[in-house]
């Protein structure tokens, strides 16, 4: 009994210390300005009826076909069932200035938005090295315009998931943790140091030889309270352009958010 009491007291002290550490971190000044303007913003999406689940899907402006397929797929069918209380939005930047078709692409995006009403477009250039800006913008949008939702699920525009199963895992995990990130956890991954690599990270940007544990961005799930915490952490930490490493690996520990994996919380590429 004495050993159990000692363990419980130590756990309580540790938990109080973690809370104090989070409060101390969040009292630090904001060093990153991620408040980009909106070219398209359906900011009343979550006000229409009750919203308990929000899908946020990063997509490139030119990915018209992917978005069309998603709108015919399982997530869209799930959203259409009124009792599921779910919404779905695509997040885009501006067509790359280097593209010959940028004006034509933007015109098509505006037409697509007028037809479907499910696009959020931000005023930064949509190039691969700006994936962090898009990821943080999704956190910011959800915590600003959908703060009454219960959960947020991030999936890519070429990803298929079993929506009911994924939601069930979210709900069961929330009975064990107040805040958490659900995803495919990776441990011991090393930065790509070859300049020609798509994922190149210089030693100046990240000097350590391995990344902290993180979750890959193909499918992530979190309570809305976690979304807000991650955004508040992101504006206070020196950024790393790899969004999944930065948000789930570097920001999450700063606000005491655990990474949780579950075999039923999974995704497949290019299957609708």
* DSSP state string for 115-176: HH--EEEEEEE--GGGHHHHHHHHHHHHHHH-TT-SEEEEE-TTEE--HHHHHHHHHHHHTT
What's residue 26's pLDDT?
A: 97
What's the domain range around 55?
Answer: 32-269
> What CATH number is associated with residue 56?
3.90.550
Question: Does one domain contain both 16 and 37?
Answer: no
What pairs with residue 258 in β-bridges? none
What's residue 272's pLDDT?
A: 46
Q: Which residue has the higher pLDDT, 6 or 231?
A: 231
Check pLDDT > 60 for residue 271: no
pTM score: 0.94
Question: Does one domain contain both 164 and 178?
Answer: yes
Task: Compute CA distances 77 → 86, 161, 212, whole Å.
Answer: 10, 12, 36
How far apart, in whole angstroms, are the C-alpha atoms of residue 240 and residue 211? 11
Question: Does one domain contain both 16 and 113?
Answer: no
Reported confidence tier of residue 230, pLDDT bands at 50, 70, 90: very high
260 and 173 in contact (C-beta within 8 Å)?
yes
How far apart, in whole angstroms, are the C-alpha atoms of residue 170 and residue 156? 18
80 and 47 in contact (C-beta within 8 Å)?
no
Question: Does one domain contain both 127 and 224?
Answer: yes
Question: Does one domain contain both 11 and 120?
Answer: no
State the total domains in the chain: 2
Tens digit of each residue's pLDDT (9 = 90 or more) over 188-217: 999 999 999 999 999 999 999 999 999 998
Tens digit of each residue's pLDDT (9 = 90 or more) over 165-178: 999 999 999 999 99
Question: Does one domain contain both 54 and 24?
Answer: no
Question: Does one domain contain both 205 and 104?
Answer: yes
Q: What is the mean pLDDT of residues 60-66?
A: 98
145 and 45 in contact (C-beta within 8 Å)?
yes
Q: Which of 76, 271, 77 is nearest to 160 (CA)?
A: 271
Write down the mean pLDDT value for the chain. 96
Element spanning 27, H or E = none
Question: Does one domain contain both 17 and 50?
Answer: no
Question: Does one domain contain both 255 and 150?
Answer: yes
What's residue 6's pLDDT?
A: 83
Question: Does one domain contain both 124 and 137?
Answer: yes
How many Cβ atoms sit within 10 Å of the Cβ of residue 180?
20
Question: Does one domain contain both 21 and 75?
Answer: no
Question: Does one domain contain both 42 and 15?
Answer: no
For a pLDDT cut of 70, what percent of the chain falls above it? 99
Instruction: Output phi, psi for 167, to 5 deg.
Output: -65, -40
Reported confidence tier of residue 49, pLDDT bands at 50, 70, 90: confident
140 and 149 in contact (C-beta within 8 Å)?
no
Secondary structure (3-state) at 29 = coil
Q: Which residue has the tokens 């949008």?
A: 141
69 and 155 in contact (C-beta within 8 Å)?
no
């Amino acid at each position: 009994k004495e050993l159990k009491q000692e363990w419980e007291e130590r756990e309580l002290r540790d938990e109080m210390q973690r809370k104090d550490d989070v409060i101390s971190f969040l009292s630090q000044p904001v060093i990153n300005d991620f408040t980009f303007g909106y070219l398209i913003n359906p900011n009343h999406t979550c006000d229409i009826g009750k919203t308990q689940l929000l899908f946020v899907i990063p997509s490139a402006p030119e990915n018209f076909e992917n978005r069309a397929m998603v709108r015919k797929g399982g997530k869209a069918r799930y959203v259409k069932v009124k009792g599921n209380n779910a919404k779905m939005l695509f997040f885009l930047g501006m067509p790359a200035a280097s593209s010959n078709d940028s004006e034509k692409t933007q015109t098509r995006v505006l037409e697509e938005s007028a037809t479907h009403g499910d696009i959020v477009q931000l005023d930064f250039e949509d190039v691969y090295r700006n994936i962090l800006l898009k990821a943080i913008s999704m956190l910011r949008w959800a915590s600003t315009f959908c703060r009454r939702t219960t959960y947020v699920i991030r999936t890519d525009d070429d990803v298929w998931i079993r929506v009911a199963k994924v939601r069930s895992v979210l709900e069961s995990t929330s009975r064990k943790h107040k805040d958490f990130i659900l995803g495919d956890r990776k441990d011991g991954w090393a930065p790509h140091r070859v300049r020609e690599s798509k994922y190149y990270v210089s030693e100046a940007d990240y000097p350590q030889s391995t990344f902290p544990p993180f979750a890959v961005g193909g499918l992530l799930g979190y309570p809305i309270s976690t979304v807000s915490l991650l955004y508040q952490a992101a504006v206070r930490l020196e950024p790393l352009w790899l969004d999944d490493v930065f948000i789930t690996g570097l920001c999450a520990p700063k606000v005491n958010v655990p990474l949780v994996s579950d075999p039923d919380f999974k995704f497949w590429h290019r299957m609708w």
